[in-house]
Amino acid sequence: MKKLILSVAVSTLLVIASVGLAQAHGGFAFYFGWPGWWGGAAYPPYYAYPGYYPYPRYYPYPGYYPYPAYAPPPPVYVQRPPMVARYSPPSPPAPRLERYTLSAQELFAFDRDELHLPQPKLDQIASALLATPQIKKVNITGYTDRIGSDAYNLELSQRRADAVKTYLVGKGVAADRLVAVGKGKDNPLVHCDDRDRDALIKCLEPNRRVEVERITVERRAG
């Protein structure tokens, strides 16, 4: 019985309520026990969590206002300047050119170096050379027949070639574009065996000549 009473007394002591009133954060706190019951310094007063404040009053979303009706703006008309097509006259057609070849073969009287006038072929060659400066050189070659010595015929053929060159220079062709050479009785065109001298001279006439080199030029067609 004594043990029972002692046990109850001890239990009573253990459950002594030490009610502490403490203010913390605007609230009250209660704790039970006795100081040092956990074996250490006095446990600081227990402060309860601050009072619960409910969530602020809910305010509904502002009233819904429909978007105002869309009124399209009035059309704006921009007047553009009129397009005027520029007239470009058609390009003239390229001139049609044709190529042609000029040459001359002038015949001389026996043992003579004078040119017979007029000379339409030489005039045409002179005009073509003046209109075609890219032709830098034209050969003029003089010949004789086989009658006479080689030395004399070589000199005579040179005089004949020089006569043609002088004529072309007189028409305006630069002398440095013309090369005159005498070749005597070389390159005969005909061969004659006539024993009569007059007949032989007549037969050999084609060999007494001056040849102007062929030149090819262009001119407008039509």
Q: Which of 5-9, 66-70, 113-117, 142-146 has the lowest mean pLDDT?
A: 5-9
Q: What is the mean pLDDT of residues 8-13?
A: 55
Give SS3 for 206. Answer: helix
Residue 147 is given by DSSP the state S
Best-predicted range by mean pLDDT (86-100, 101-115, 139-153): 139-153
- Calpha distance 215→138 (Å, rounded): 8
pLDDT in tens, 14-29: 444 444 433 444 444 4
Q: CATH second-level architecture of 101-220?
A: 2-Layer Sandwich (3.30)
Give the Cα-Cα-Cα angle 84, 88, 90 (nearest 5 degrees).
150
Mean pLDDT confidence for 64-92: 78
Look at residue 161 in the predicted model and tell me its pLDDT: 95
Does residue 185 surpass a pLDDT of 80?
yes
> Out of 55-64, 99-108, 112-121, 166-175, which region has the weakest mean confidence (pLDDT)?
55-64
Q: Is the Cβ–Cβ distance between 144 and 207 less than 8 Å?
A: yes
Task: Tell me if 45 sits within 8 A of 31, measured CB to CB.
Answer: yes
Does position 72 have pLDDT exceeding 60, yes or no?
yes
Residue-level pLDDT at 10 = 53
- Among candidates 137, 147, 215, which has minimal Cα distance to 185? 147
- What per-residue confidence (pLDDT) applies to 7? 60
Identify the band that residue 6 occupies on the pLDDT scale cut at 50, 70 and 90: low
pLDDT of residue 16: 46
Does 68 score more than 90 pLDDT?
A: no
Q: Scan for tokens 């049609």, then name that residue.
A: 96
How does residue 30 score in pLDDT terms, banded at 50, 70 and 90?
very low
Average pLDDT over residues 186-192: 93
